[in-house]
Amino acid sequence: MSKAAAARVFDPAAAATPDSDAALMRRVGEGEAAACRALVESHLGRCVGLAYRLLGDPIEAEDVAQDAFLRLWRLATRWQPRARLTTWLHRVTYNLCIDRLRARRSMSSAQLPEPGSNADPSGTMQRNQVARVVGDALNALPRRQRAAIALVYRRELSNIEAAEVMGISVDAVESLLARGRQGLRKRLSALRADLMGEP
């Protein structure tokens, strides 16, 4: 789905305000199962997706998302509507990923998991190959450039929210995005043969 098309789909998490999040969190704090399910349905996929784009490992991505939600549940009764819930969850997920990336800094890139290994088995070989090549190109970006692209990917967060999550200025986010996209373009151009399925 293109970014424009994705933006047209109604997204309750994107439409949420700090006050509506607070009301939802109050219900979660009271142990209301429907409220917990609503939060999981609207936010768990974002956490998993962000963690996967940052870590490249599906198992680690699920662990991080679960950890982020555990922290959210524990905070439910004390939730203060200072920021949007989605921004808070992205920030916690991002920080957990950064901790894991720091811990594995000594690991060589050859040891990192293949991002294409989780590709949809029903897709064509070329589609899988494109996904693998794009995933490799993303993983080859410097960590902060990859994070900036992952956060605003399909307009999940605005640049202002991404800046808040990363603890940097909006201009710095835009600079990271620009350098990240330039790096991707350069790398993907070099891999054009792979992308086109050429020998």
Partner 1 sequence: MERNSDPPRTVDLARLGQILDAHGADPDAWPETERDDALALLASSAEARALNASAARLDRLLDRAPTLEPSPELKARVLAAAGEAARPWRRRDAWVLAVWPFGPVWRPAVALAVAALLGIAFGTVAPPGLVGSPDPAPLAEEFATLAFGPDVDLEGQP
Q: How far is the CB of 199 from partner 1 (least distance, A)?
A: 20
Residue (of 147, 149, 158) closest to 14 by Cα position: 158
- Given a contact cutoff of 8 angstroms between Cβ atoms, the answer to whether 148 and 166 are in contact is yes
Nearer to partner 1, 37 or 102 (CB): 37
Query: Are the beta carbons of 96 and 67 closer than 8 angstroms?
Result: yes
Amino acid residing at 164: E
Neighbouring C-beta atoms of residue 160, cutoff 10 Å? 12
Asked if residue 151 lies in contact with residue 165, where contact means CB atoms within 8 angstroms, the answer is yes
Which is nearer to partner 1, 106 or 125 (by Cβ)? 125
User: Whole-number minimum distance, CB 82 to partner 1, in Å?
Assistant: 14
Residues of this chain that interact with partner 1 (CB under 8 A) are 1-4, 7, 28-31, 33, 36-37, 40, 44-45, 48-49, 52-53, 58, 61-62, 65-66, 69-70, 73-74, 76-78, 115-116, 118-119, 127, 130-132, 134-135, 138, 149, 152-155, 158-160, 170, 174-175, 177-178, 181-182, 184-185, 188, 195
Helix segments in 77-195, DSSP class H: 85-103, 125-139, 143-152, 159-166, 170-190, 192-195
CA distance 106 to 111: 10
Alpha-carbon span 11 to 2, nearest angstrom: 15
Residue closer to partner 1 by CB (options 31, 197) is 31
- Output 53 or 90, the one with its CB closest to partner 1: 53
Does the CA dihedral 166-167-168-170 come out positive or negative?
A: positive
Task: Provide the minimum distance between the beta carbon of 52 and partner 1 in the complex, in angstroms, as a whole number.
Answer: 4
Identify which of residues 8 and 106 has a Cβ nearer to partner 1 in the complex.
8
Q: Closest separation between CB of residue 158 and partner 1, Å?
A: 6
